[in-house]
């Protein structure tokens, strides 16, 4: 049986149109309370931004950048 990590790896190897198909499937089976239309729109917009190479991190310099990256690392 595949683990969640295996499925995520498989997902990342899919072509972008196939990833979108999987995303749409997951959204369709989720209860509406878990993902609002606004949340779904934000997720899909972030996906489009990634395709365009838009950096989603805030503009930071020096210690603020180090603190931000440390925070992200502890969340992972």
pTM, rounded to two decimals:
0.39
Q: Supply the pLDDT for residue 31.
A: 56
For the cut 80, the answer to whether the pLDDT of residue 19 exceeds it is yes
Cβ(57)–Cβ(68) under 8 Å? Answer: yes
Q: Supply the pLDDT for residue 76.
A: 65
Using N-to-C axis directions, what is the helix angle for 37-51 and 16-29, rounded to 10°?
Answer: 170
pLDDT 10s digits, 33-51: 567 788 888 888 888 888 8
Q: Supply the pLDDT for residue 26.
A: 85
Q: Supply the pLDDT for residue 30.
A: 66
């Amino acid at each position: 049986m595949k683990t969640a990590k295996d499925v995520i790896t498989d997902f990342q190897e899919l072509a972008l149109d196939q990833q979108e198909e999987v995303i749409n499937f997951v959204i369709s089976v989720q209860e509406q309370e878990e993902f609002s239309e606004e949340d779904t729109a934000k997720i899909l917009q972030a996906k489009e931004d990634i395709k365009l190479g838009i950096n989603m991190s805030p503009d930071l310099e020096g210690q603020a950048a180090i603190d931000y990256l440390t925070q992200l690392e502890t969340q992972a």
